[in-house]
Amino acid sequence: MIGLLKSEFYRIFKQKSTIVLFAFLTIVLVLVTINLKIFNQGHYNVFDAVKYSNKVFELPLNRLNMPIFILGEVESIILFILIPYMGISVVNSEIKREYLRMILIRGEEKYKVICSKVISLFLFNGIMCLFVFVLSYIISFLIYPSVSETKVFLINNSLSFGQSVVYFFKNLFIYYCVFCFVSSISTAASLAMPNPISAMFATWGILIAGMFASKFLFYIIVSLRNFGFETTAGVKSLSYLGIVIIAIFIICACSCFIFQKVDYKH
């Protein structure tokens, strides 16, 4: 299993598309920061996307809370483009280039192969989250003046630098779980549809259909930043996050079932 994981990571970071992905993400983060600084005049607005409330909450931005809001601004790009692309790339590229066939011919057990792919994708999501974390803080510290404390949504007390970092990591973990949820969907779609374009549209179709069918799924996809704010502040129960984690395991089990049934050796 360790050997398979090393092989997966080698192939992921060997791809030019991975470098392009991080370069694209860097450009997006910089542009979002400039947009918030100039066009929002250093303030951030949040509204309830599910209830379509007209009530707008506004906070002044500074170098301590800015990274949290940058993450909220790029969530849609990561959820609908970057995460599905990586999930499909890891599976479909190997099927197309017959790497998967060669691995299976060597006698590797199927469940280990698919598990290594899923785990490598989840670890990659973690690396991408940490990349966003580090780069967001660097950009924020370059643009905004020094402050000793900051304010965030739904928490009355001001947060120090250390507390703001902990708050950001809590939010980041919630985002990470939802990213892994989308990764598991794209992996299952890739296994069922070897064509990458079909798999991408299938992933989007599943997400859109799920949002129409479930208000909860609509909430965590369309208003992920609100979900992060409310869960971190204790307004939302952690059971909601538990549902996301359980869904990840169920979809991964479905991926294993599909992988076991399809013959990739021929």
Cα–Cα–Cα angle for 210, 124, 175, nearest 5°? 45
Query: What are the tens digits of pLDDT across the range 173-206?
Result: 999 999 999 999 999 988 888 788 888 999 999 9
* CA end-to-end span of the chain: 23
Q: Print the SS3 string covering 97-134.
A: HCHHHHHHHCCCCHHHHHHHHHHHHHHHHHHHHHHHHH
Backbone angles phi, psi at 144, to 5 degrees: -100, 150
Query: What are the tens digits of pLDDT across the range 215-234?
Result: 888 888 888 888 888 888 88
Whether the per-residue pLDDT at 99 is higher than 60: the answer is no
Q: What are the structural domain ranges in the chain?
A: 2-261
Backbone angles phi, psi at 221, to 5 degrees: -90, -50
pLDDT at residue 222, as a whole number: 84
Query: What are the tens digits of pLDDT across the range 137-181?
Result: 898 888 887 888 888 887 888 888 888 889 889 999 999 999 999
